[in-house]
Structure 1
Amino acid sequence: MTNPDLTLIAVLLDRSGSMHSIKGDTQGGFDAYIAKQREQPGSVTVTLAQFDDHYERVYSNVPIADVPPLDLQPRGVTALYDGIGRLTTEIGEELAAKPEHERPGQVIVVVLTDGHENASKDWTHHAVKEVITRQESEFAWDYLFLGANIDAVAIGEQMGFKSTNSITYAASPAGVTNAFAAAASYTSRKRAAAPGAKVEGFSDADRAGAMDGK
C-alpha cells in the first residue's frame, strides 16, 4: 500500500524567452502556491523541472518546508511535449523503483506554459496524451495544465489533460497570480479528499480570475 499521508507535487515550468514579461509574477505565484501547501496537514515533497528547448530537473523530492524561492531565467523556445513526456516518465520510473510503502499516496503534476509547443524533438502530443492517460487511469495521478496565450482547455485536451483541470490565464500580474491561486486551491482540495473521492476542478470564478476578471 502506498503512503496515504504523503503527496508528491511535481511542477513543470516553461522558461522559454517569452516568459520574461511575467518572470517576476511567475516566481511570486509559484512561491505562493508552495506557501499555501505548507499550511495544510500531511507530508509533501516537491519536484521541479523547467524547460525551454532544453529540459532541466531543478530538484527532486524536496520536503516542502525546504523548497527554495523560485529562480526563473527565461531563454530559448518551447519544447512542451518533451518536457511533459520526460518529467512523467522519469517520475514514474523513480516511483516504480521504490518499495510500495514509500511511494506517495497522491501524485499531482502541475504544468505551466505561456505559449504553443514549437520545439519538441522526442515527443508528440499523441505520445504525451497516451502517457498522461495511463498515469491517471492506472496510478491515479492528477494533472493540472495552466496556459497563457493559448486556449489551454482545447490544447490541454489534445495532450490528455482533463478540461476541468486546465485553465487559461492572462499573461499579466493578476492573471498569473490568480492561476497559481486556483491551482493551489485545487491541490488543497485534492490533498484533503478521501482516497478515490471526486474533486471539483477549476470553477468559473477561477477561470474569470485567471483572465484578469474579464
Structure 2
Amino acid sequence: MNNTLNNEASAGIISPASQSAIETELDDIALVSEGVEIDEIDSEEATLVHVAIDASSSMHEHRKAVINAYKQQFLDPLRAAKNADSILVATSVFSSGCDQNVRLIHGYTPIPKCPDLTDNDYSPSGMTPLYDAVFQGISGLVAYGQDLRDNGTRTKSIIIVLSDGWENDSSVTQAKVRRLSEDVLKAQEFILSYIFFGDESEGNIAAETIGFPIHHRLTSSLSEANIRRIFGTVSASVISTSQAQVSTGSLSSNAFFQPNQ
C-alpha cells in the first residue's frame, strides 16, 4: 500500500498532505481498496465505481426500496451493458450503527459477478459518518486504480455517494476530505458524484463541504419512486461514461448526469 501511495503522489493524483492523511487511516483504507486480481481483468481499460450508501436510521423506512432499486435499476442495466466485464463495482454502506463506520459489502468486482444487496448488507441504524465514507471511498478508489494503472490498465474512476443527511459522526476531519477531493479532481481522471435525498440547497451545502463539484451532483426528494429513478439514472450515467470515447484526463470537467436524467 505504501508503494502505491508513493506512486499516486508521484503521478500527481494526491498531494503529500493527502498521502500523509491516508497513511494515518491505512488499515481502513486497505479494506476498501480490495478488488479482483489484475490478471482477472480482460480489458485494456476498466471503469471503477465505488458506491457508498447512507445506512443511517433515517433511511430505515426506505430499506426495501434501496435494496430492490440497487438490483433492478442499478445492477441489472449494468449487467446488460456490452462492456459489463470491464465495469468493476465496489459497494459500501456507512452508519455509526455498523461494526465500523464504513462497512465494505464487496470490493471491486466485474459487474457479471457483483452480488445483489441483501437485508443483512443493508440494515439502516445510527448516525451519518459521511466524511469517513467519502475519505475511505476515494482513497480506496485511488489505491486500487493505481495498482491497475501501474500494470498497464487504463482507468476511469467514479465514486457515487448517496445520502439523506449531513455529516454527524466521523473520525476523519472535513479538511482532510475536502483536500483529497480537490487533489483527485485536479488529476482530471475522477468523477465525484454526490446524490442527496432532500432539499437541493441543503444538498449543495453538504456537497461543498466534501469538495464534490456541482456538475456531478443530483438532488431528489426521498420516496420509493425517486429511489428507483435515482439508481436508474446512476446506472445509465455509469454506462455512458464507461463507453464514451473521451480522454480520461477530462473526466472531472465533464458533466456526469445528462440534462434529461
- TM-score class normalised by the smaller sequence: 0.7 to 0.9
2:212 counterpart SS class: coil
2:193 matched to which residue of 1? 144
1:188 matched to which residue of 2? 239
2:57 matched to which residue of 1? 17
- Distance, in Å, in 2 between the alignment partners of 1:172 and 1:193 is 31
Q: CA deviation at 1:106?
A: 0.8
1:68 counterpart SS class: coil
Of residues 118, 123, 141, the one that matches 2:173 is 123
Moved more, 143-152 or 56-65: 143-152
Look up the equivalent residue of 2:192 and give its one-letter code.
Answer: Y
2:156 is the alignment partner of 1:106: yes
Change in CA separation of 1:148 and 1:194 when aligned onto 2, cut-off 3 Å: same
How many percent identity over aligned positions?
A: 20
- Distance, in Å, in 2 between the alignment partners of 1:111 and 1:50 is 10
Q: Deviations over 1:109-146 (max 9, x none)?
A: 1111111111112221x322211121222261112111
- Distance, in Å, in 2 between the alignment partners of 1:47 and 1:81 is 18
Q: CA deviation at 1:11?
A: 0.7
2:107 is the alignment partner of 1:60: yes
Change in CA separation of 1:22 and 1:80 when aligned onto 2, cut-off 3 Å: same
Which protein shows a greater Rg? Answer: 2
1:120 counterpart SS class: coil
Pairwise mapping of residues 39-78 of structure 1 onto structure 2 (< 5 A)? 39-42=80-83, 43-53=86-96, 54-71=101-118, 72-78=122-128
- Distance, in Å, in 1 between the alignment partners of 2:44 and 2:217 is 25
Gaps of 5+ in 2: 1-42
Moved over 6 A (4+): none
Q: CA deviation at 1:94?
A: 3.2
Moved more, 126-135 or 149-158: 149-158
Q: Deviations over 1:67-106 (max 9, x none)?
A: 1111211111100011110121133233334562354521
Normalising by structure 2, we get a TM-score of 0.71
1:212 matched to which residue of 2? none
User: Which protein has the bigger helix share?
Assistant: 2
1:210 matched to which residue of 2? none
Look up the equivalent residue of 2:108 and give its one-letter code.
Answer: N
1:145 counterpart SS class: strand
Look up the equivalent residue of 1:10 and give its one-letter code.
Answer: H
Of residues 114, 128, 138, the one that matches 1:88 is 138
2:218 is the alignment partner of 1:167: yes
2:151 counterpart SS class: helix
User: Which protein has the bigger strand share?
Assistant: 1
- Distance, in Å, in 2 between the alignment partners of 1:4 and 1:144 is 25
What CA RMSD, in Å, does the superposition of the two structures yield over aligned residues?
Answer: 2.1
Change in CA separation of 1:103 and 1:47 when aligned onto 2, cut-off 3 Å: farther
Change in CA separation of 1:181 and 1:128 when aligned onto 2, cut-off 3 Å: same
- Distance, in Å, in 2 between the alignment partners of 1:103 and 1:79 is 33
- Distance, in Å, in 2 between the alignment partners of 1:78 and 1:40 is 33
Moved more, 178-187 or 105-114: 178-187
Look up the equivalent residue of 2:255 and give its one-letter code.
Answer: E
The number of equivalent residue pairs is 203
- 1:107·1:142 contact (CA, 8 Å) conserved in 2? yes
